[in-house]
């Protein structure tokens, strides 16, 4: 039997339904959706529209059901502050939602918890220092340039290219070389990339389908296990190569194996190394590709910003190859990336589980509840953002950022668990955009506007298609 459908929202089971006798959260509505699957069909069909409508109808805090799981969705920066900063010891990466992730990510930084997480984070943080980023810049630029070399041909044709697909392939090459060093052949990276993408997609489906009744089919399990085995073999063999005394330095794995600061006292075991390699690889690849694809999408929709960025790139670099010290001077480029990540944050929600009974901004939360600050809603909250749907990178100037809650912009999370790779990925994205704008003009394809699709991260439904035109004003070195 189907739940009643709210006429206002078209949301089955919508409306203020009590949460059960004695529930202290009874004041908060629950969107139940369809039997068994809950609101999953609506999330898959048009996630942004659905979640916006829920917020309009139910406010900044409401429950949704997906399979047998129930989530408290939170839409205000204040909520994020409670969950990620003030209450981070209570709101943990635990519960059934994180289980399928652990199957793939082991006990790596993305999913570990407590003292073990703290030790690993301390060991890994120095990999992302300015000195390390400086060392990696040349490697990133060379890899980006290699990837963009095939774009010249596209720029001479009248056929648009799908930059999402292109960024997926090139960021995979960048991530692999940053991780395993410059010597990794591109065919090996491509193979590993397609395997890892498959695993990510399967993993995300499992986060939801694991809560469905066992008799429902779960397609792709066999292929998933075979792919995971292949990836394990490949990464373990790369670790082995990095362990050899004559291994070439250059990648993060090499640094991790030898102890980042040369302290042989606190090094990781082979299993820990394997988990962390997988976590860094997963954390950095698809997210950066999506952030780049959305940035290009908005630059083609807002030609005045495309022009401003190109002017900045020409003034700062005058046609030369960027180096690490140039990045702070390329502030409009950075702000355009930040703004694209506000409008289309690859990490669209960041769930946690309450370990004990707690209250978030006056909302009673029972132990065991999964709370999910909804990054996308927070990034559009009217209390903080003026004209939230507009692409306006200048909102990230220091003057206009003054007084804004630091929990209003969360593409990299917040609090102690904030993304360890944030500076690396912003640097990588800046280098990408700079190299593209030095060579090409980007133009939208009329009638083709990229729409978001929900996966682990928020990517486009059918790619981001743009026309490339060769630039004549400046050419790269």
Quote the least distance from Cβ 151 to ligand HEM, whole Å.
Answer: 21
Residues within the interface to ligand HEM (CB under 6 A): 109-110, 121, 279-280, 283-284, 287-288, 291, 346-347, 350, 411-413, 417, 419-421, 424-425
DSSP string for residues in 415-439? GGGS-TTHHHHHHHHHHHHHHHHHH
How many CB atoms sit inside 10 A of residue 141's CB? 21
Rank residues 15 and 413 by Cβ distance to ligand HEM and give the closer one: 413
Quote the least distance from Cβ 214 to ligand HEM, whole Å.
Answer: 28
Quote the least distance from Cβ 156 to ligand HEM, whole Å.
Answer: 31
Quote the least distance from Cβ 264 to ligand HEM, whole Å.
Answer: 23
Give the single-character DSSP code of 249: P
Q: Cβ distance 148 to 439 under 8 Å? A: yes
Q: Cβ distance 76 to 378 under 8 Å? A: yes
Rank residues 229 and 418 by Cβ distance to ligand HEM and give the closer one: 418
Composition of the chain by helix, strand, coil, percent to 5: 50, 10, 35
Rank residues 67 and 284 by Cβ distance to ligand HEM and give the closer one: 284
Rank residues 54 and 420 by Cβ distance to ligand HEM and give the closer one: 420
Contacts of 152 (CB under 8 A, 6+ apart): 439, 470
Q: How far is CA 322 from the centre of its chain?
A: 25
Tell me the residue number closest to ligand HEM, measured at CB: 421
Residues 110, 456, 393: CA angle, nearest 5 degrees? 90
Q: Where does 163-220 have alpha helices with state H?
A: 163-180, 186-209
Token pair for 182: 């410059």
Rank residues 92 and 448 by Cβ distance to ligand HEM and give the closer one: 92
Give the single-character DSSP code of 4: P
How many CB atoms sit inside 10 A of residue 467's CB? 19
Give the single-character DSSP code of 304: H
Phi and psi torsions of 7, nearest 5°: -70, -30
Give the single-character DSSP code of 33: -
Phi and psi torsions of 216, nearest 5°: -75, 140
Quote the least distance from Cβ 6 to ligand HEM, whole Å.
Answer: 31
Token pair for 407: 């929990």
Token pair for 130: 């300015």
Rank residues 12 and 108 by Cβ distance to ligand HEM and give the closer one: 108
Rank residues 348 and 467 by Cβ distance to ligand HEM and give the closer one: 348
Rank residues 97 and 316 by Cβ distance to ligand HEM and give the closer one: 97
Quote the least distance from Cβ 20 to ligand HEM, whole Å.
Answer: 28
Quote the least distance from Cβ 245 to ligand HEM, whole Å.
Answer: 26
DSSP reduced 3-state for 189:
helix
Rank residues 110 and 360 by Cβ distance to ligand HEM and give the closer one: 110
How many CB atoms sit inside 10 A of residue 259's CB? 15
Strand partners, 469: 441
Quote the least distance from Cβ 41 to ligand HEM, whole Å.
Answer: 26
Quote the least distance from Cβ 97 to ligand HEM, whole Å.
Answer: 11
């Amino acid at each position: 039997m189907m739940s009643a459908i709210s006429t206002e929202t078209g949301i089955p089971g919508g409306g203020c339904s009590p949460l059960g006798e004695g529930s202290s959260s009874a004041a908060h509505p629950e969107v139940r959706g369809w039997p068994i699957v809950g609101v999953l069909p609506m999330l898959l069909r048009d996630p942004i529209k659905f979640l916006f409508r829920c917020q309009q109808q139910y406010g900044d805090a409401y429950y949704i059901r997906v399979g047998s799981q129930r989530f408290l969705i939170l839409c205000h920066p204040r909520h994020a502050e409670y969950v990620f900063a003030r209450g981070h010891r209570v709101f943990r990466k635990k519960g059934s939602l994180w289980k399928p992730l652990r199957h793939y990510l082991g006990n790596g930084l993305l999913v570990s918890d407590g003292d073990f997480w703290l030790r690993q984070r301390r060991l890994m943080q120095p990999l992302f220092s300015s000195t390390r980023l400086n060392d990696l810049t040349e490697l990133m630029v060379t890899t980006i340039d290699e990837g963009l070399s095939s774009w010249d041909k596209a720029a001479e044709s009248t056929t648009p290219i799908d930059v999402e697909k292109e960024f997926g392939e090139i960021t995979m090459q960048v991530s692999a070389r940053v991780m395993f060093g410059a010597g990794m052949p591109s065919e090996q990276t491509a193979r590993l990339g397609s395997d890892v993408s498959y695993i990510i997609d399967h993993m995300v489906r499992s986060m939801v389908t694991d809560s469905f009744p066992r008799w429902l089919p779960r397609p792709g399990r066999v292929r998933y296990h075979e792919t995971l085995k292949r990836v394990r073999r490949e990464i373990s063999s790369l670790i082995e190569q990095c362990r050899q005394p004559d291994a070439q330095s250059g990648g993060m794995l090499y640094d991790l194996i030898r102890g980042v600061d040369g302290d042989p006292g606190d090094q990781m075991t082979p299993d820990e190394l394997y988990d962390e390699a997988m976590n860094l690889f997963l954390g950095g690849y698809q997210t950066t590709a999506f952030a780049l694809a959305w940035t290009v999408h908005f630059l083609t929709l807002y030609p005045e910003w495309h022009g401003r960025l190109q002017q900045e790139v020409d003034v700062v670099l005058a046609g030369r190859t960027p180096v690490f010290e140039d990045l702070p001077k390329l502030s409009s480029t950075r702000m355009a990336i930040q703004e694209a990540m506000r409008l289309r944050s690859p990490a669209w929600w960041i769930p946690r589980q309450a370990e004990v009974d707690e209250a978030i901004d006056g909302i009673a939360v029972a132990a065991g509840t999964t709370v999910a600050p909804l990054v996308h809603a927070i990034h559009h909250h009217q209390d903080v953002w003026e004209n939230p749907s507009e692409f306006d990178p200048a909102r990230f100037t220091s003057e206009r950022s003054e007084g804004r809650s630091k929990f209003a912009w969360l593409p990299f999370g917040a609090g102690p668990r904030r993304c360890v790779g944030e500076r690396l990925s912003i640097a990588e994205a800046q280098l990408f955009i700079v190299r593209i704008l030095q060579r090409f003009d980007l133009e939208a394809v009329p009638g083709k506007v990229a729409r978001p699709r929900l996966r682990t991260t928020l990517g486009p439904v059918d790619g981001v298609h743009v026309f490339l035109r060769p630039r004549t004003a400046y050419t790269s070195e």
